[in-house]
Chains A and B, each alone.
Chain A
Amino acid sequence: MDKLFIARGVSRTSLKNFIMWIIPWILILIVGVYAVFLCLYEGLNQTNMDNRFAFGLWIYLDLTVIALGAGAFFTGFLLYILKRKELKAVINSAVVIGFICYSGAVGVLMVDVGQPLRAWFTFWHPNVHSMLTEVTFCITCYLGVLAIEYIPIILKNRRIKQISSMLVFEHELHKLVVVLAAVGTFLSFFHQGSLGGLYGVLVGRPFAFRPALGIWPTTFFLFILSAAAVGPCFILLTTTLVSKISRKQLVKPEVLQLLGKISGNLLIVYILLKTIDTIIWINSTSPSLGFTAASFYKYSGFGTWIMFAEIVLCGLIPALMLQNKKLRARTSWLVVAALMACIGIVLNRFVMTIQTLALPTLPFDQFMSYVPSWQEVATFMAVLAYGMLVYSISYRYLTLFPQERELQSM
């Protein structure tokens, strides 16, 4: 029935199977929308956050998806600015993933601010000395860039491109995509950095506070580097996942290996700098603020294993694995390494958001525990469902992997 909308030369599951696939996600989305309604109608008392624990699951989700969505800007940068043509095979998918991540993050932020109708205030009266202002401006602009980059992919749909004016606009817009890639890189550089800087400037939170390099704390640079390192890994993971679910080869193995290699190189630099930063923090920054680093890790469940898991297990080890050409040549190892690297960054964002706020900083403070309410979890799940729906529909009707047709005919 919908065959006329599916690209030539590629096969997709039947419409019935596709509907069966998306129904569970639609149901999750509906529950999430209800949770969002409750949060907006009843207020943020529907969440388990409070004035003391103001950053919870949602901000953690935002930080994580924005880090993982960095594959969009970084792949665009590599393809259009550094001319790594091999990455053309995944750029469309990267743009869609980036769009999903950023639109999902902005959507959750709208709920998180409690009064989304007043969100314009941050633009109208910006506090230019706040890292959050920079994050807000850059993420909003970058979401606009991603939406514009998404347009040519949609206009290339088999039916839509039959309308000549649409095809011509797509063609002309695509010609200027290098400008958008450059703007996207610029914006991503700053908002990824500012998200890290946000924690690094918290002088009242010695667990997160870091000394400044120039005007930015070291976390500014570490967040940029970690997002750039893990972005290609997430593209690699999603491509492999879609390939497994659809039982089709979508890109040539060399493309995945290249993504792994780029990630590996960046990850090794990141881990090196992160290690230096951590050593300085343990020996200088934290003691100078009156805390031994060990005092942050004495709470049950939040021991030094987290640091080990983040930096060594899911940082150094996948970085070394991705450096190895023989391991990269084997898809299973490549995927394991990419997964570990993504977990490492997810853990890093968890530590920076949740652990930072949970730790006591004043003598009368307690280690705070926080368990998200069902409304928070449902909203979180709604973003996941939204992502699955947008990606599934895009994969079915748009050309996300240009090599797919060729690989299917071989």
Chain B
Amino acid sequence: MFPWIYGFTWTPGNIIFLGIFFSVVAIIGATVLLSFRRALHSIKTNSMESIRWESEFHDLPIAARTCRHEFTGEFKRRTCDNGFDCRSCVTHGNLMKNKATNSDLIEHPIHAFGFTIPIDRLYHRGHTWVKSNATGTYTIGLDDFASRLVGTPEGIELPKPGTRLQVNGSAWSFKKGHTDVRILAPLDGEVVAASDGSEGWYLKVRPLTPSVDTKHLLRDQEIVPWFLREFERLQMKLADPKIGLTLADGGTPVQDFPKAYPDKNWDGIFGEMFLEA
């Protein structure tokens, strides 16, 4: 195997064969070492949250990765491959160039499909909303759909003030049954206050930079169709597989879906609706 080993000869056969062998071993070793080194670098640079999101996102079912421009009819069918980060999406940028944004935010919430949907704020695909405050901070809360999906959780773990949030990283988590569910952060920022009292759960976050890019958040006419799509997805999950899809009976959604459907696979449903693979 080596020149100093008994029986080794400097023949072309030996040199070619062992040369190839050692090259292969070197490539395999280098691949593992490089992965290890990159992993260490990612840990040092605190990129774990973005890596987690990237990994989770690509493991989500296609139905959970629908492009926002499908809700508004700009595409008949389009799946996002960009981790819902429209800030770096070329297609989104091009589509928004020619689109007038509605600067007159509607003060009164819309009531659709039995949900209360305030339109004066921006929405993240993981069912949180974001509203800017006069103080320069942003309030983050759980939307009505998610509130009903969670119902009454057994435990909530909110971040402590000073915690830094990263878009699509963990904002807070709750426990429902045997399932731990994490809620994704819609913005980068530092938590200045957190509450789970009578006002519901919310976080107050101070952005890390003076200008906050919110291009990745849903707004205006996108919100209601998105709610409808999410409600449809949930109905598909709750439908009895023996019966199939049924028409809605005209009632309003209950306050606590898991309580109303205790036998469903809520672990899977939470994962899919809150974008956790």
Question: What is the interface of chain A, defined by CB distance below 8 A to chain B?
Answer: 3-4, 7-11, 123-126, 128-129, 133-134, 137, 141, 144-145, 148, 156, 161, 164-165, 167-173, 175-176, 179-180, 183, 186-187, 399, 402, 405-406, 409-410
Q: Does B105 contact A (CB under 8 A)?
A: no
CB pair A165–B24 under 8 Å, yes or no, is: no
- A-B pairs under 8 A by CB, number: 117
A186 closest partner in B (C-beta): B24
Q: Are B51 and A125 in contact (CB under 8 A)?
A: no
Cβ of B208 within 8 Å of any chain A Cβ, yes or no, is no
* Residues of A contacting B276 in the complex (Cβ-Cβ under 8 angstroms): 8
What 0/1 pattern do residues 220 to 237 of B give for CB contact below 8 A with A? Answer: 000000000000000011
Chain B residues near A406: list those with CB within 8 A.
61-63
What secondary structure prevails in chain A residues at the interface with B? helix
Give the residues in chain A near B63, CB-CB below 8 Å.
406, 409
**B1 to A167, Cβ gap below 8 A?**
no
Rounded to whole angstroms, the CA-CA distance of A291 and B7 in the bound complex is 39
Which of B32-40, B126-134, B251-259 lies at the interface with chain A? B32-40
Q: Which residues of A contact B27 (CB under 8 A)?
A: 179, 183
A81 nearest CB across to chain B (Å): 15
Q: Judging by beta carbons under 8 Å apart, are A409 and B61 in contact?
A: yes
Contact of A167 among B24, B35, B48 (CB under 8 A): B48
Which of the candidate stretches B156-164, B187-195, B265-273 sits at the interface with the other chain? B265-273
In the bound assembly, the distance between CA atoms of A173 and B31 in angstroms comes to 8
Q: Do the beta carbons of A176 and B34 come within 8 Å of each other?
A: yes
Binding site for A on B (CB under 8 A): 1, 5-7, 11, 13-14, 16-18, 21, 24-25, 27-28, 31-32, 34-36, 38-39, 42-43, 47-48, 51-52, 54-55, 59, 61-63, 178, 236-237, 265, 267-272, 276-277
In the complex, chain B residues whose CB is within 8 Å of the CB of A410: 236
Interfacial chain B residues near A172, Cβ < 8 Å: 34-36, 38-39, 42
Complex: how many Å from CA A114 to CA B18?
Answer: 26
Residues of B within 8 A of A399 (CB): 59
Using Cβ atoms and an 8 Å threshold, which residues of chain A touch B47? 168
CA distance A165 to B48 in the complex (A): 8
In chain A, what residue has the closest Cβ to B8? A125
In the complex, besides A137-B17, A156-B55, A409-B61, 11 extra interface pairs with C-beta distance below 8 angstroms are A3-B178, A8-B270, A8-B271, A133-B17, A156-B59, A168-B47, A171-B55, A172-B34, A172-B36, A173-B32, A175-B38
Bound-complex Cα distance A7 to B48 (A): 21
Q: Knowing A144-B28, A179-B27 touch, does A409 contact B237 (C-beta < 8 A)?
A: yes
The answer to whether A409 and B35 have CB atoms under 8 Å apart is: no
List 29 A-B residue pairs with CB atoms under 8 Å apart, sorted by A's residue number: A4-B178, A9-B61, A9-B265, A9-B269, A11-B265, A123-B1, A125-B7, A126-B1, A126-B18, A128-B14, A128-B16, A133-B17, A137-B21, A148-B28, A165-B39, A167-B51, A167-B55, A168-B48, A170-B55, A171-B42, A171-B51, A172-B36, A172-B38, A183-B31, A186-B24, A187-B24, A399-B59, A402-B59, A409-B61
Known A-B contacts A167-B48, A405-B61; the reply to A8 vs B28 at CB < 8 A is: no
Q: Check if B268 sits within 8 Å of A9, measured CB to CB.
A: yes
The interface residues of chain A lying within 8 Å CB-to-CB of B24 are 141, 183, 186-187
Nearest A residue (CB) for B24: A141
Cβ-defined partner of B28 (8 Å) among A123, A128, A180: A180
Q: Nearest CB to that of A122 among chain B residues?
A: B1
A161 to B180 alpha-carbon distance, docked (Å): 14
Asked if B54 contacts A171 (CB within 8 A), the reply is yes
- List, in ascending order, chain A residues with CB within 8 A of B18's CB: 126, 128
CB-CB under 8 A for A129 and B268, given A137-B21, A144-B28, A169-B36: no
Whether A148 contacts B61 by the Cβ 8 Å rule is no
Inter-chain CA distance A183–B29, complex, in Å, is 12
Given the complex, which residues of A lie within 8 Å of B52, measured CB to CB?
164, 167
Contacts of A144 in B (CB 8 A): 28
Q: B236–A128 contact, CB under 8 A? A: no
Q: Which residue of A lies closest to B34 (CB)?
A: A176
A186 vs B189: C-alpha distance when bound (angstroms): 48
CA distance A25 to B272 in the complex (A): 35
Say whether, besides A126-B18, A167-B55, A179 and B31 are in contact (CB < 8 Å).
Answer: yes
Chain B proximity of A118: nearest CB distance (Å): 15
**Chain B residues whose C-beta falls within 8 Å of the C-beta of A145 in the assembled complex:** 28
